[in-house]
């Protein structure tokens, strides 16, 4: 692994241990002492290294102190019959503390992993596969930024929430020390802030930029997938957001679909909760492990859905290195020294044995530097040195009007993401959000840039009102399904590409889901509550989709004398481009198309179409004995004891992304997860429904809520969101006050 190619050691301790081990081995050989003694000697050295490493680490905090800290909070947690926590307190800080505790009850394992990851300490517990994550923390200067800006950039009310959430996690962990990994406690507000700072740039594809610098990239070969997942990248390709205003609703209501596509488990999997304080923080929606803020969902007055967008927000500069001094690069005709630091990464070797790897971290004027087989590059990306994401989310959570929400968006701490908005007044909007660099016009920003010109280093971002956005279009609807912002509503109301500089790097692509949104929501002038829901669960590929084009490629192939290829072509010729569980053509189509299309989207060289078809044929014949099994026999949803056929598929509005199994089936692992249908009626009264693919107990296989929503999810049904305390009457299964016993 290239990351581990740096110099090894941990100062004098490890050099002394290594010298000792070599000396022992020489004497063993000279004295012809047996292998048992050698093993014992090696074990002694290993023990010495373990003890030395432990002594170099800070002592864990006193658990009694962490438990006693709970006395400063007064919070009430009510679990409804689905186990969803409703966290109620007088102060925002009380609610944040209670939510940290409740969140930990359901998913402490993931919160712990996320915390160690954003500290750059994950490899010490998870081994070398996590070392890339730790290196990226150093490379992006996450902690230098957090330590320098935590007090100045985050107001006191935001810091109180971050620190209270951390206290809730600490309280839970102190009560259950058997679940702790070494070095986890105490969690701090800075840890929570660092998580936001690290993850956000990966949502617009910074991982693709890093991987594209070399083959294999310097950041790792085969081991970087975990790093990108912890950062938020490498997600299932998808998400939907739709808002319909009163003029397009048959009953004059305003409706919002919240439908992000995420992995089913892990650091960027959704968790559902309702939070309510008497200081005006009352939200219901989705949270990531380690986040105290509702990331999308709704409050009483307004709501929003997020989808991933991919504007060009990162630039790569090829540096010229001084042939006489590898620590210098050329800028404006002068040699400049790299800023250099040492990343100390503790890597678990075996059991308790940890070895410290040292890796140089270089910075140029442009930003972080990577030395690769193709050359030396500096990267400048949107969101560098930014930690105000918690501030923006908290202000969005508390906004009561469209104006307040847009003011929160104007904080401009979130480097990307589409936002689809709706509110009680009937306002709807779509924002192709991004920290768009104020780039020099007339420059091709898509490829590598010369690194010796300072006038190509952008220093600021365009203001929020320059981001592509449309508000209250006459057509009465807006949507996004990871497609170009220039198709966000009816054609007459759409934004025009010529109104935006090419330097913004705005995407122009369409997904199948985008085409289907136009063919369903966009074709219906009087959308009812029933059709709004039905369109969300659409199961078709559009005739304009990539899948339809690829199937056409398959049908155009010359099968020659290959009877199996001809039979497959005949099945696909009659396929209706739908993905119900009983469909007889979907399995062959999906297994053929998806490996090709996913490789194309990832920038990898795809299989030839004929090879993808033959692989699909072989899989279906081997495991199902026919080329046209029912789609539900192949496409499965599995969780604990639940094993059901599931409708939908990749890039379908009912999105299901499956992982291949040894028996030829696919097990759903990403796509539709937390889904919310939010409505404000003509009078502005709120109601909402939701469903989670599993349940609130995201990691506890013994809990009744481990999979209690799964059957509803597979059946495309929902449950009511009990937003108001009065709605909880008769639906509470647990009622408790964490920390109250110490009061």
How does residue 213 score in pLDDT terms, banded at 50, 70 and 90? confident
Lowest mean pLDDT among 37-51, 279-293, 563-577, 708-722: 37-51
Give the bridge partners for 423, in sequence order: 302
**pLDDT at 228 exceeding the cut of 60:** no
**Separation CA 649–CA 655 (nearest Å):** 5
Beta-sheet pairing, 368-372 with 353-363: antiparallel
**pLDDT at 30 exceeding the cut of 90:** no
Angle at CA 555, nearest 5°, toward 550 and 556? 95
* Residue appearing with tokens 């206290």: 167
**Separation CA 237–CA 669 (nearest Å):** 12
How does residue 2 score in pLDDT terms, banded at 50, 70 and 90? very low
pLDDT computed for residue 179 by the predictor:
96
306, with CB counted inside 10 A (0-12, 13-18, 19+), is: buried
Beta-sheet pairing, 635-639 with 666-672: parallel
> In terms of C-beta distances under 8 Å and separation of at least 24 residues, what long-range contacts does 466-469 make, across chains too?
466/436, 467/431, 467/432, 467/433, 467/434, 467/436, 468/431, 468/432, 468/495, 468/500, 468/504, 468/506, 469/429, 469/430, 469/431, 469/432, 469/495
How does residue 82 score in pLDDT terms, banded at 50, 70 and 90? very high
Q: Compare 576 and 28 and report the one with higher pLDDT.
A: 576
First CA to last CA distance, the chain: 52
How does residue 249 score in pLDDT terms, banded at 50, 70 and 90? very high
Lowest mean pLDDT among 13-17, 66-70, 457-461, 585-589: 13-17
> Percentage of residues in the chain with pLDDT exceeding 90?
83
**pLDDT at 218 exceeding the cut of 50:** no
**pLDDT at 53 exceeding the cut of 80:** no
174: left (phi over 0), alpha (psi -120 to 50) or beta: alpha
**CA–centroid distance for 518 within its chain:** 27
**pLDDT at 29 exceeding the cut of 70:** no
| 106, 179 contact by CB (below 8 A) | no
Question: Per the structure block, which two tokens stand in for 295?
Answer: 């990331």
At 529-560, the pLDDT tens digits run: 999 999 999 999 999 999 999 999 999 999 98
pLDDT computed for residue 48 by the predictor:
62
pLDDT computed for residue 607 by the predictor:
83
pLDDT computed for residue 232 by the predictor:
46
**pLDDT at 27 exceeding the cut of 50:** no
> In terms of C-beta distances under 8 Å and separation of at least 24 residues, what long-range contacts does 104-107 make, across chains too?
104/168, 104/169, 104/172, 104/173, 105/172, 106/271, 106/696, 106/697, 106/698, 106/699, 106/700, 106/705, 107/271, 107/289, 107/698, 107/699
Listed residue (509, 658, 510, 601) closest to 205, CA to CA: 601
Q: What pTM did the predictor assign? A: 0.92
Listed residue (485, 487, 474) closest to 518, CA to CA: 487
Give the bridge partners for 479, in sequence order: 242
Tell me the average pLDDT across 278-284: 98
pLDDT computed for residue 21 by the predictor:
47
Listed residue (682, 710, 715, 676) closest to 696, CA to CA: 710
Tell me the average pLDDT across 355-378: 96
**pLDDT at 496 exceeding the cut of 90:** yes
Lowest mean pLDDT among 35-49, 222-236, 692-706: 222-236
At 91-127, the pLDDT tens digits run: 999 999 999 999 999 999 999 999 999 999 999 999 9
**Separation CA 119–CA 193 (nearest Å):** 11
**Separation CA 445–CA 502 (nearest Å):** 9
| 542, 652 contact by CB (below 8 A) | no
How does residue 39 score in pLDDT terms, banded at 50, 70 and 90? low
DSSP 498: G
pLDDT computed for residue 422 by the predictor:
99
Question: Phi, psi (5° rounding) for residue 612?
Answer: -65, -40
Listed residue (461, 457, 462, 505) closest to 309, CA to CA: 505
Question: Per the structure block, which two tokens stand in for 146?
Answer: 């957090």
**Separation CA 193–CA 162 (nearest Å):** 7
**Separation CA 550–CA 592 (nearest Å):** 9
321-349 b/e (C-beta count within 10 Å ≥ 16 → b)? beeeeeebbbbeeeebebeeeebebbbbe
Question: Per the structure block, which two tokens stand in for 578?
Answer: 């739908």
How does residue 44 score in pLDDT terms, banded at 50, 70 and 90? low
**pLDDT at 396 exceeding the cut of 50:** yes
**Separation CA 337–CA 238 (nearest Å):** 43
Listed residue (481, 549, 560) closest to 515, CA to CA: 481
At 284-316, the pLDDT tens digits run: 999 999 999 999 999 999 999 999 999 999 999
Average pLDDT, the chain: 91
List C-alpha distances in Å: 243 to 255, 483, 692.
6, 16, 21
Question: Phi, psi (5° rounding) for residue 471?
Answer: -125, 135
Question: Per the structure block, which two tokens stand in for 309?
Answer: 């967008």
| 6, 360 contact by CB (below 8 A) | yes
How does residue 20 score in pLDDT terms, banded at 50, 70 and 90? very low
pLDDT computed for residue 95 by the predictor:
98
| 300, 278 contact by CB (below 8 A) | no
How does residue 211 score in pLDDT terms, banded at 50, 70 and 90? confident
Tell me the average pLDDT across 457-465: 98
- The residues near 37 (Cβ < 8 Å, ≥ 6 apart) are 28
**Separation CA 692–CA 656 (nearest Å):** 14
- The residues near 690 (Cβ < 8 Å, ≥ 6 apart) are 272, 284, 674, 675, 676, 677, 718, 719, 721
DSSP string, 135-147: HHHHHTTHHHHHH
pLDDT computed for residue 26 by the predictor:
55
* Residue appearing with tokens 């693919």: 693
633, with CB counted inside 10 A (0-12, 13-18, 19+), is: middle
**Separation CA 477–CA 521 (nearest Å):** 8
> Percentage of residues in the chain with pLDDT exceeding 70?
89
Residues in the chain: 743
């Amino acid at each position: 692994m290239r990351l581990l190619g740096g110099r090894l050691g941990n100062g004098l301790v490890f050099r002394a241990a290594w010298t000792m081990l070599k000396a022992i081995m020489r004497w063993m050989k000279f004295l012809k002492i047996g292998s048992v003694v050698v093993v014992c000697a090696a074990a002694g050295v290993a023990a010495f290294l373990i003890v030395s490493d432990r002594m170099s680490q800070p002592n864990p905090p006193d658990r009694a102190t962490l438990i006693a800290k709970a006395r400063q909070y007064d919070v009430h947690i009510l679990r409804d019959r689905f186990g969803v926590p409703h966290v109620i307190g007088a102060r925002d800080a009380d609610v944040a503390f209670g939510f940290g505790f409740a969140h930990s009850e359901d998913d402490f394992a993931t919160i712990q992993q996320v915390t160690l990851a954003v500290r750059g300490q994950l490899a010490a517990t998870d081994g070398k596969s996590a070392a890339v994550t730790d290196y990226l923390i150093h490379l992006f200067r996450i902690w230098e930024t957090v330590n320098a800006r935590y007090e100045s950039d985050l107001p006191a009310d935001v810091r109180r929430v971050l620190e209270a959430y951390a206290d809730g996690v600490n309280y839970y962990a102190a009560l259950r020390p058997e679940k702790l990994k070494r070095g986890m406690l105490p969690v701090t507000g800075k840890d929570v802030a660092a998580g936001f700072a690290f993850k956000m740039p990966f949502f617009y594809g910074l991982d693709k930029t890093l991987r594209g610098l070399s083959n294999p990239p310097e950041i790792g070969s085969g081991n970087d997938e975990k790093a990108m997942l912890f950062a938020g990248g490498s997600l299932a390709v998808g998400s939907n957001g739709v808002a319909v205003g009163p003029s397009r609703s048959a009953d004059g209501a305003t409706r919002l679909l919240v439908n992000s596509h995420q992995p089913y488990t892990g650091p960027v999997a959704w968790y559902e909760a309702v939070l309510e304080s008497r200081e005006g923080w009352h939200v219901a929606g989705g949270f990531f492990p380690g986040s105290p803020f509702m990331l999308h969902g709704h409050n009483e007055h307004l709501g929003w859905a997020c989808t991933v967008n991919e504007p060009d927000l990162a630039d790569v500069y090829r540096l010229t290195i001084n042939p006489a001094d590898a620590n210098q690069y050329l800028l404006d005709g002068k040699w400049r020294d790299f800023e250099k630091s040492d990343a100390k990464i503790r890597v678990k070797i075996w059991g308790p044995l940890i070895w410290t790897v040292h890796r140089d971290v270089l910075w140029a004027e442009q930003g972080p530097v990577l030395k690769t087989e193709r050359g030396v590059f500096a990267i400048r990306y949107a969101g560098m040195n930014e930690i105000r994401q918690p501030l923006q989310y908290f202000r969005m959570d508390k906004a009561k009007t469209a104006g307040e929400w847009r003011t929160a968006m104007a904080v401009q701490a979130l480097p990307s993401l589409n936002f689809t908005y709706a509110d009680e007044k009937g306002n709807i909007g779509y924002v192709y959000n991004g920290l768009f660099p104020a780039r020099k016009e007339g420059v091709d920003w898509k490829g590598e840039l010369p690194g010796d010109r300072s006038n190509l280093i952008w220093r600021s971002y365009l203001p929020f009102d320059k981001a592509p956005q449309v508000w209250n279009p006459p057509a009465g609807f807006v949507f996004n399904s990871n497609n170009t912002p220039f198709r966000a509503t009816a054609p007459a109301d759409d934004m025009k590409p010529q109104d935006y500089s090419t330097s913004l790097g705005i995407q122009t692509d369409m997904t199948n889901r985008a085409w289907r949104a136009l063919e369903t929501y966009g074709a219906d002038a009087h959308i009812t509550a029933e059709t709004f829901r039905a369109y969300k669960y659409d199961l078709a590929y559009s005739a304009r989709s990539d899948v339809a084009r690829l199937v056409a490629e398959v049908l155009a192939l010359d099968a020659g004398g290959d009877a199996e290829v001809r039979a497959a072509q005949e099945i696909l010729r009659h396929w209706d481009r739908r993905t119900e569980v009983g469909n007889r053509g979907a399995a062959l189509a999906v297994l053929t198309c998806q490996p090709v299309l996913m490789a194309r989207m990832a920038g990898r060289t795809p299989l030839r179409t004929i090879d993808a078809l033959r692989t699909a044929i072989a899989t279906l014949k081997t495991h199902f004995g026919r080329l046209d099994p029912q789609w539900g026999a192949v496409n499965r949803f599995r969780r604990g004891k639940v094993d059901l056929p599931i409708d939908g598929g990749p890039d379908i509005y009912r999105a299901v992304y499956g992982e291949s199994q040894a028996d030829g089936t696919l097990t759903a692992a990403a796509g539709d997860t937390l889904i919310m249908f939010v409505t404000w009626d003509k009078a502005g009264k709120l109601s909402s429904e939701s469903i989670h693919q599993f349940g609130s107990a995201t990691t506890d296989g013994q809990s009744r809520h481990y999979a209690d929503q799964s059957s509803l999810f597979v059946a495309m049904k929902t449950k009511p969101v009990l937003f108001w305390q009065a709605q909880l009457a008769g639906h509470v299964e647990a009622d408790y006050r964490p920390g109250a016993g110490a009061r």
